[in-house]
Chain A
Amino acid sequence: MSSEGMKDKADKNSDQAVQVKGAPNGGEGALKDGGAKSGSGNQNGSRMVSFQDKAEIDCEKPLPLYNAGPNQAYRAYSKDSSRTPLIAIVCERHVIPRRNVVETYAGLPSANIIRLVGHGVVYWPPANRELYVFIYMDNLGKPLLKPGDKAALGWKQDEVMSVVVRSIVDVFQDFRDKEFVHGNINPYNMFDGVASGKASKVILGECLSTPSSFMQSALYEPIPRAMADPAARGKGTMADDLYAFGASVAVMMRHSDPMAGLSGEEVVRQKVLYGSYGAITGKDRFKGEILELLRGLLHDDPVQRWTIDEVLNWLDGQRLSPKQSGSVKKASRSFVLGESRYFVARLMAMDVEKHVKDLKKSIEDDSLLNWVERSLEDEEVSERFGNALVMARQQSSGSGHESCLAGNISIALDPEAPLRFKGVRLLGNGIGSALAEATALKKPTGVYAEVFLNSLAINWLNVQNSALIDVASLFSKFERCRRYLKTSKYGQGIERVLYSLCPESPCLSSAVESYYVVEPSDLLRAYEDLCQKGRAPSTFLDAHVVSFLSEKDQKVIEPYVYDLNTHESHRVITATLKCFAAIQRRYNTGYVPGIAKAMAPRLQTAVRRYHDRRVQEKLKGCVAEFQSTGDLVKVAALFEDVEISKKDTVLFRNAMQEFQAMEKERQMLEEKLQSKETFGIGAGKEISVMVSSALAFLIIIVTVFMFLSDKSVF
């Protein structure tokens, strides 16, 4: 197929690229098909995994050449008669794909990027779980650089200009127009687009299956981003992409790799000491117009770095003279921290965490402060340093104090660097994806909570350049996170922070770990499948699920969070029922008999929360009916009826009072009935008085009458 033909087909496919979620294990639930079923797994042991109605993935045919970091690439084929070969990138669960920019990517018109055919959830048999997959056209060819190759291609300037620069600049124009950031530009991810022979252009590889810059080595990232953990670099900017492009061009042109064998941290040190241009080009000397491009793109100051417009002007022949990156500021004398000697504050900032004890000592004896003020002679650093000391004392005490101090000192010495704390290196908008990765890998997440609770994140934000990052937006996000962390209630805590900072993350609850849940309806689908298989979880709405739903659709969870936090079984189960019913109603998911069957026995607890056994019997009947239909909305309506509950309570209170009165009477009677001889004697005596008095009165009247009428009695 010609490249034009491929492009046309790719364009057509990209128009059709809509996200459809997969049904796990080919679940046969009653969920409606509307958006629910996508890829059904190979239940019969077949090697082919069906993806929507577009492609089939051969799960036994990996394409390691196209792997995206930990995400493996596999051969796929279109489902039409042409059986066009495709590439499927299957995302590992801990790697959060950039689902939020997929539509933008699909709309990029350039032919020099890998074309997206589809994306969505698929059941992946080798992992026995659902995973997210991206399907691309296989128009890549070979990568310019393969893993293990020497990172110095020694291309000639003309070759680079005609094959690489013009192709990539074309792509960059589309990125600018669509405000898209690629985040994975390097020679390993640039392809020649031909099976054999010489390339006339390059095609940029995939960038959606991982967080931005996740796969970039330190060489292709600007210094601050290179310092951060791969998952914690956050969304980059076009300036970062242009830097990566510059580094890629330099690697293609250079004849030797001055940083061969160096670790990422050592690469960063080289860049700090010699500037990015100097570190990457090493002893290679470039001449002419390409020198301007490299100096412009590899400028360490993002403000001074060339923009795409400047690159276009340069391509048009306009001669620009980019400023060289300023030489690193060194102190007049060194400072010894641990066993290392430091002249550069930025390098010291990289290491303070390794020497917290020595750092604390040097702060207590003011030696570090004296060095900053007298040797470094940088007023801004001195001021930040003083503030950091004050903040560290205020914000933490006890065992965490030293780490907190190191974090704050690191920020003060190098504000552009990522936040360093207890082994993690985080850039502001990368905290979410780093936290998601840690959670998915079941690593401890306490350090992320401490970052907010000890105000380190806020302190880091306070020294950031608002021209480079959206400080105001991050500030409100971080404040919200700190609020969430003050309690561990459902809907708050570290889980809420995760989904708040990383909305692309799927639900990472262990209950649905075999599923890829990105929408509330997916959650219902996952639980329905689990219940149908008889693996209903003991808790449907756990901390992860509640936080996930709170971020995705507050209306389906917010009214029930209070009940969930009571941990009373009847409240929890009715809240769960109502929440699921809300999802069923709002997302029109259809009936869920599996969930209904699993919930019915648990609902007995809620049924027992009505005092009146007649009401209980009626509800039991409704629950039994619900068990067979799976209509959550209908049953939830019964439990939502406040009038029934209120009436039940009032009648019960009245019955209690009546019972008490009767009990009192019964006890009194029993007590009196115990002495049969005396029972009723008092009343009997009174009646005999009345009888006797009445009889006597009658006798007296008759006698008097007879005497008065002169009749003798005797």
Chain B
Amino acid sequence: MLINVMLVVFLLFAIVFRSSVLIFVVGLLPMFVAFFVDRSEKKTQAITVGAMNIAGCTPFVMELWTTDSSMEKALSIIMDPVAIIIIYAAAGVGYLIDWVVTAAVAGFLYQRGISRKDAIVKTQKEMVERWGEEVSGKVPLDHEGFPLEGGDAAKS
């Protein structure tokens, strides 16, 4: 029901702002493709590309809005190869950001994970040195926390 209402509202907007919609529909094609291609749940790649794609469309939409906002103007903008290159290049920058930043951050986090793991191992080793193997919980313990093995039954 809600989707239907939104669809109706969108159609009304599309009819009212048809020239702007034309630029967005043609200009944001990379974003739509990214949405379909990105299988991740959060659609982060699509958002990254989409954000830059929208930024690329912005000068041309502003140009339309600051003139007569006619359909002819919209068509002339959209038919201009430079405009299309700029818009699609912006989307490409989005892809670039997605690739570079993701790789950089993942590499950084990987190194940090290794460091953390090494630090944990070192601390655990120190704890074992101070408290014995029983601190690890891997050795069966009696009610006082001492290993059950070790011949406690032997009399002194």
Using a CB–CB cutoff of 8 Å, the interface residues on chain A facing chain B are: 538-540, 567-570, 572-573, 576, 602, 605, 608-609, 611-614, 649, 652-653, 655-656, 658-660, 662-663, 665-666, 669-670, 672-673, 676, 679-681, 683-689, 691-693, 695-697, 699-700, 703-704, 707, 713-714
A-B contact pairs, 5 of them (CB 8 A): A611-B146, A653-B145, A656-B131, A692-B49, A692-B97
Is A673 in contact with B113, judged by CB distance below 8 angstroms? Answer: yes
Is A693 in contact with B51, judged by CB distance below 8 angstroms? Answer: yes
Instruction: Please indicate which of the listed interface residues B120, B121, B144, B154 has the most CB atoms of chain A within 10 Å of its own CB.
Output: B120
Q: Which of B94, B116, B145 contacts A652 (CB 8 A)?
A: B145
Is B120 in contact with A692, judged by CB distance below 8 angstroms? Answer: no
Q: Which residues of B contact A693 (CB under 8 A)?
A: 47-48, 51
Q: Is B54 an interface residue (CB 8 A)?
A: yes
Complex CA–CA separation, A576 to B155 (angstroms): 11
SS class of chain A's interface: helix, strand, loop or mixed? helix
> Chain A: which residue is nearest B109 at the CB level?
A680
Is A611 in contact with B107, judged by CB distance below 8 angstroms? Answer: no
Q: Is B52 an interface residue (CB 8 A)?
A: yes
Is B109 in contact with A696, judged by CB distance below 8 angstroms? Answer: no
Q: Which residues of B contact A666 (CB under 8 A)?
A: 117, 120-121, 124
| Given A666-B124, A688-B98; A655-B113 close (CB under 8 Å) | no
Please choose the segment from B1-9, B17-25, B134-142 that sits at the chain A interface, where 4 or more of its residues have CB less than 8 A away. Answer: B134-142
**Which positions 91-139 of chain B face chain A at CB distance < 8 Å?**
94, 97-98, 100-110, 113-114, 116-117, 120-121, 123-124, 127, 129-132, 134-137
Is B62 in contact with A662, judged by CB distance below 8 angstroms? Answer: no
Is A655 in contact with B130, judged by CB distance below 8 angstroms? Answer: yes
Complex CA–CA separation, A665 to B119 (angstroms): 11
Complex CA–CA separation, A360 to B134 (angstroms): 64
Q: What is the total of A-B residue contacts with beta carbons within 8 Å? A: 177
Is B145 in contact with A656, judged by CB distance below 8 angstroms? Answer: yes
Shortest beta-carbon distance from A607 to chain B in Å: 12
Instruction: Please indicate which of the listed interface residues A609, A662, A691 has the most CB atoms of chain B within 10 Å of its own CB.
Output: A691
Is A685 in contact with B120, judged by CB distance below 8 angstroms? Answer: no
| Given A684-B102, A685-B98; A655-B127 close (CB under 8 Å) | yes
Shortest beta-carbon distance from B77 to chain A in Å: 12
Is A687 in contact with B105, judged by CB distance below 8 angstroms? Answer: yes
Shortest beta-carbon distance from A570 to chain B in Å: 7
Shortest beta-carbon distance from A472 to chain B in Å: 40
Q: Which residues of A contact B131 (CB under 8 A)?
A: 611-613, 652, 655-656
Complex CA–CA separation, A605 to B151 (angstroms): 10
Bitwise, B40-51 to A at CB < 8 A (1) or not (0) is 101011011101
Q: Which residues of B contact A672 (CB under 8 A)?
A: 113
Q: Which of B51, B106, B107, B146 contacts A609 (CB 8 A)?
A: B146
Q: Which of B44, B90, B100, B124 contacts A662 (CB 8 A)?
A: B124
Shortest beta-carbon distance from B36 to chain A in Å: 17
Is B97 in contact with A691, judged by CB distance below 8 angstroms? Answer: yes
Is B97 in contact with A700, judged by CB distance below 8 angstroms? Answer: no
Complex CA–CA separation, A653 to B134 (angstroms): 11
> Chain A: which residue is nearest B82 at the CB level?
A714
Q: Which residues of A contact B101 (CB under 8 A)?
A: 684, 687-688, 691-692
| Given A669-B113, A669-B120; A685-B152 close (CB under 8 Å) | no
Shortest beta-carbon distance from B88 to chain A in Å: 15
Is A659 in contact with B51, judged by CB distance below 8 angstroms? Answer: no
Is A663 in contact with B152, judged by CB distance below 8 angstroms? Answer: no
Is A707 in contact with B62, judged by CB distance below 8 angstroms? Answer: yes
Is A687 in contact with B102, judged by CB distance below 8 angstroms? Answer: yes
Shortest beta-carbon distance from A489 to chain B in Å: 14
Q: Which residues of A contact B107 (CB under 8 A)?
A: 680
Instruction: Please indicate which of the listed interface residues B101, B134, B151 has the most CB atoms of chain A within 10 Å of its own CB.
Output: B101
Complex CA–CA separation, A568 to B152 (angstroms): 5
Is A692 in contact with B52, judged by CB distance below 8 angstroms? Answer: yes
Q: Which residues of B contact A611 (CB under 8 A)?
A: 131-132, 134-135, 145-146
Q: Which of A649, A687, A703, A714 contacts B145 (CB 8 A)?
A: A649
Is B109 in contact with A679, judged by CB distance below 8 angstroms? Answer: yes
Q: Which of A567, A665, A703 contacts B120 (CB 8 A)?
A: A665
| Given A538-B155, A612-B130, A684-B104; A659-B135 close (CB under 8 Å) | yes
Q: Which residues of B contact A612 (CB under 8 A)?
A: 130-131
Is A685 in contact with B97, judged by CB distance below 8 angstroms? Answer: no
Q: Which residues of B contact A614 (CB under 8 A)?
A: 130
Is B144 in contact with A649, judged by CB distance below 8 angstroms? Answer: yes
Shortest beta-carbon distance from A632 to chain B in Å: 15
Shortest beta-carbon distance from B34 to chain A in Å: 11
Q: Which residues of B contact A539 (CB under 8 A)?
A: 155-156
Q: Which residues of A contact B136 (CB under 8 A)?
A: 659, 663
Q: Which of B62, B94, B124, B130 contacts A703 (CB 8 A)?
A: B62
| Given A683-B106, A687-B102; A695-B51 close (CB under 8 Å) | yes
Given contacts A685-B48, A703-B62, 13 further A-B contacts (CB under 8 A): A538-B155, A608-B146, A609-B146, A611-B131, A611-B135, A612-B130, A613-B130, A662-B124, A669-B113, A680-B105, A681-B102, A691-B97, A707-B66
Shortest beta-carbon distance from B87 to chain A in Å: 12
Complex CA–CA separation, A570 to B154 (angstroms): 9
Complex CA–CA separation, A676 to B151 (angstroms): 46
Q: Which of A568, A676, A696 contacts B55 (CB 8 A)?
A: A696
Shortest beta-carbon distance from B46 to chain A in Å: 9
Complex CA–CA separation, A381 to B30 (angstroms): 123
Q: Which of A652, A659, A689, A695 contacts B47 (CB 8 A)?
A: A689
Complex CA–CA separation, A569 to B156 (angstroms): 5
Shortest beta-carbon distance from B61 to chain A in Å: 9
Complex CA–CA separation, A693 to B152 (angstroms): 67
Complex CA–CA separation, A57 to B103 (angstroms): 102
Is B135 in contact with A685, judged by CB distance below 8 angstroms? Answer: no
Q: Which residues of B contact A656 (CB under 8 A)?
A: 131, 135, 137, 145
Q: Is B153 an interface residue (CB 8 A)?
A: yes
Complex CA–CA separation, A707 to B59 (angstroms): 8
Is B124 in contact with A663, judged by CB distance below 8 angstroms? Answer: yes
Is B97 in contact with A695, judged by CB distance below 8 angstroms? Answer: yes
Is B51 in contact with A605, judged by CB distance below 8 angstroms? Answer: no
Is B145 in contact with A567, judged by CB distance below 8 angstroms? Answer: no
Q: Which residues of A contact B152 (CB under 8 A)?
A: 568-570
Is B114 in contact with A673, judged by CB distance below 8 angstroms? Answer: yes
Complex CA–CA separation, A613 to B135 (angstroms): 12
Complex CA–CA separation, A556 to B54 (angstroms): 91
Q: Which residues of B contact A662 (CB under 8 A)?
A: 120, 123-124
Q: Which residues of A contact B137 (CB under 8 A)?
A: 656, 659-660, 663
Q: Which of A676, A684, A703 contacts B58 (CB 8 A)?
A: A703
Q: Which residues of B contact A703 (CB under 8 A)?
A: 55, 58-59, 62
Q: Which of B45, B52, B54, B153 contacts A685 (CB 8 A)?
A: B45
Is B144 in contact with A683, judged by CB distance below 8 angstroms? Answer: no
Q: Which of A663, A669, A685 contacts B40 (CB 8 A)?
A: A685
Instruction: Please indicate which of the listed interface residues A570, A602, A659, A665 has the most CB atoms of chain B within 10 Å of its own CB.
Output: A659
Q: Which of A572, A695, A713 contacts B155 (CB 8 A)?
A: A572
Q: Which of B42, B94, B106, B156 contacts A680 (CB 8 A)?
A: B106
Q: Which residues of B contact A676 (CB under 8 A)?
A: 110
Is B151 in contact with A569, judged by CB distance below 8 angstroms? Answer: yes
Is A685 in contact with B44, judged by CB distance below 8 angstroms? Answer: yes
Q: Which residues of A contact B102 (CB under 8 A)?
A: 681, 684-685, 687-688
Shortest beta-carbon distance from A390 to chain B in Å: 45
Q: Which of B94, B129, B155 contacts A613 (CB 8 A)?
A: B129
Complex CA–CA separation, A540 to B156 (angstroms): 8
Is B127 in contact with A658, judged by CB distance below 8 angstroms? Answer: yes
Shortest beta-carbon distance from B73 to chain A in Å: 15
> Chain A: which residue is nearest B49 at the CB level?
A692
Q: Which of A605, A670, A684 contacts B109 (CB 8 A)?
A: A684
